[in-house]
């Protein structure tokens, strides 16, 4: 166990679990049991059934809560399961103001599912505080839903200003922290209320587990999410919990490596004649550079860029050797994606264009490969 003053990497390795007291094992025991024997009708143990509580999952839930600076963490079978569970705390008649470039799956849950149960959402530009405030319907609006940096345009939202706005109207602030991870950004410390994750990305980090998390520092809010987790049952299986606990130990070294490459590649591409624009909050000319610096410990390992033609973009996607052309991000292997046909394929072309998602835009998530290899790979193709 570590104290809160230990460094970020020390805490990643030691928080939540050190050594098994029975065997000395350094890795956490993997408990596959679905049920647990009880002593008698008057003496129930700590665990009864794994949907309600599992020791391996609980270890992971404690770790993620601690890393986010929260007190209550819950592990789900996917990011969307975690996000849906958090959104289910709302009731018919409730209204949310949501950042307009929200993750596509979250947009689908809000517009296709929760809307059927009378939970409404208005989408607004979260980089424009007054636009967001205008979308609030006093009395009806119950929450703000944010992502920063946003996907794929890497826009930065001022989390301190947004949580102050939320407090003015007595709203809950939810933040999807997938792109940054608690290693780089801890929204609860900035006044937000619920942090959400697709742990499939940086937290697990090895492109081999689907998982999601919801974390809060408020006991009552934590209990509301736990109630939904236990009711709906989209819990993360023990085996996957074990893999994520292992992956988390290297979150810091993976983030640092990916971020170093992202910064170097962003700077190199910014000067390149065949690159129209580079979107990365680590570049000084990025509109959100100062806000991001003030609220996080880095710019992250994901950048987007636009090449000068669609043809060149398609060539890059086809020929890149050290980044897989795939959906997802946050793995030890670099991944290059094509938002117009992947994350934003469901959006009509005109709407996409209006939001700045052109047919020559790519998103690149940097893994732990050597920076030079990935950069030279890109330069070789775009010349």
Ligand X SMILES: *Cc1c(COP(=O)(O)O)cnc(C)c1O
Positions that interact with ligand X (CB under 6 A) = 78-80, 103, 105, 147, 151, 176, 178, 198, 200-201, 210, 212
To ligand X, the closest distance from the beta carbon of 105 in angstroms equals 5
Residue closer to ligand X by CB (options 335, 382) is 335
To ligand X, the closest distance from the beta carbon of 326 in angstroms equals 12
Residue closer to ligand X by CB (options 150, 382) is 150
Reported residue count of the chain is: 383
Angle in degrees, 0-180, between the axes of helices 310-319 and 371-382, rounded to the nearest 10: 140
Q: Which of 94, 176, 193, 240 is catalytic?
A: 176
Task: Copy the structure tokens of residue 122.
Answer: 């208005």
Count other C-beta atoms under 10 Å from residue 123's C-beta: 17
To ligand X, the closest distance from the beta carbon of 370 in angstroms equals 25
Task: Copy the structure tokens of residue 174.
Answer: 């939810």
Residue closer to ligand X by CB (options 212, 288) is 212
What is the DSSP-derived secondary structure letter of residue 22?
Answer: T
Residue closer to ligand X by CB (options 149, 298) is 149
Which residue has tokens 């405030």?
133
Distance CA 303, CA 266 (A): 7
Distance CA 143, CA 121 (A): 10
168 is catalytic: no
Distance CA 325, CA 202 (A): 18
Q: Which of 51, 160, 276, 308 is catalytic?
A: 51
Q: Which of 11, 142, 186, 201 is catalytic?
A: 201
To ligand X, the closest distance from the beta carbon of 139 in angstroms equals 29
SS3 248: helix
Residue closer to ligand X by CB (options 136, 228) is 228
176 is catalytic: yes
Residue 315 near residue 154 (C-beta atoms within 8 A):
no
Spatial CA neighbour of 229 closest among 75, 79, 35, 71: 75
To ligand X, the closest distance from the beta carbon of 201 in angstroms equals 6
SS3 23: coil
Residue closer to ligand X by CB (options 59, 181) is 181
Q: What is the 3-state secondary structure (H, E, C) of 280-301?
A: CCCCCCCCCHHHHHHHCCCCCC
The residue of the chain with the least Cβ separation from ligand X equals 79
What is the DSSP-derived secondary structure letter of residue 27?
Answer: S
To ligand X, the closest distance from the beta carbon of 196 in angstroms equals 7
Q: Which of 11, 57, 66, 103 is catalytic?
A: 103
Spatial CA neighbour of 196 closest among 337, 84, 42: 84
103 is catalytic: yes
Residue closer to ligand X by CB (options 105, 237) is 105
51 is catalytic: yes
Query: What does the radius of gyration of the chain's CA atoms come to, in whole angstroms?
Result: 21
To ligand X, the closest distance from the beta carbon of 71 in angstroms equals 23
Query: What residues act catalytically?
Result: 51, 103, 176, 201
């Amino acid at each position: 166990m570590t104290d809160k003053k230990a460094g970020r990497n020390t805490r990643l390795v030691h928080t939540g679990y050190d050594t098994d007291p029975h065997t000395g094992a350094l890795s956490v025991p993997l408990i596959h049991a679905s049920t647990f024997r009880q002593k008698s009708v008057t003496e129930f143990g700590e665990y009864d059934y794994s949907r309600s509580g599992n020791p391996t999952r609980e270890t992971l839930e404690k770790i993620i809560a601690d890393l986010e600076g929260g007190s209550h963490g819950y592990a789900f079978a996917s990011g969307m399961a975690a996000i849906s569970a958090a959104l289910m705390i709302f009731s018919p008649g409730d209204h949310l103001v949501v950042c307009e470039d929200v993750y596509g799956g979250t947009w689908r849950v809000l517009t296709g599912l929760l809307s059927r149960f009378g939970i409404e959402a208005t989408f607004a530009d979260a980089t424009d505080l007054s636009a967001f405030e205008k979308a609030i319907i006093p009395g009806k609006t119950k929450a703000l839903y944010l992502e920063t940096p946003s996907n794929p345009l890497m826009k930065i939202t001022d989390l301190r200003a947004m949580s102050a706005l939320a407090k003015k109207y007595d709203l809950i602030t939810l933040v999807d922290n997938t792109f940054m991870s608690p290693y780089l950004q801890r929204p609860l410390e900035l006044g937000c209320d619920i942090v959400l994750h697709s742990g499939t990305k940086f937290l697990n980090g090895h492109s081999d587990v689907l998982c999601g998390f919801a974390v809060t520092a408020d006991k009552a809010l934590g209990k509301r999410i736990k109630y939904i987790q236990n009711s709906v049952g989209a819990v993360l299986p023990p085996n996957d919990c074990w893999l994520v606990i292992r992956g988390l130990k290297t979150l810091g070294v993976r983030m640092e490596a990916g971020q170093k490459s992202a910064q170097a590649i962003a700077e190199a591409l910014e000067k390149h004649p065949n690159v129209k624009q580079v979107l990365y909050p680590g570049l000084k000319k990025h509109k959100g550079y100062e806000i991001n610096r003030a609220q996080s410990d880095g710019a992250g390992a994901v950048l987007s860029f636009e090449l000068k033609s669609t043809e060149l973009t398609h060539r890059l996607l086809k020929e890149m050797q050290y980044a897989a052309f795939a959906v997802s991000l946050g793995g030890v292997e670099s991944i290059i994606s094509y938002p117009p046909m992947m994350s934003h394929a469901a959006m009509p072309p005109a709407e996409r264009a209006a939001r700045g998602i052109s047919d020559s835009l790519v998103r690149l998530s940097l893994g732990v490969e050597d920076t030079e290899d990935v950069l030279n790979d890109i330069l070789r193709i775009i010349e």
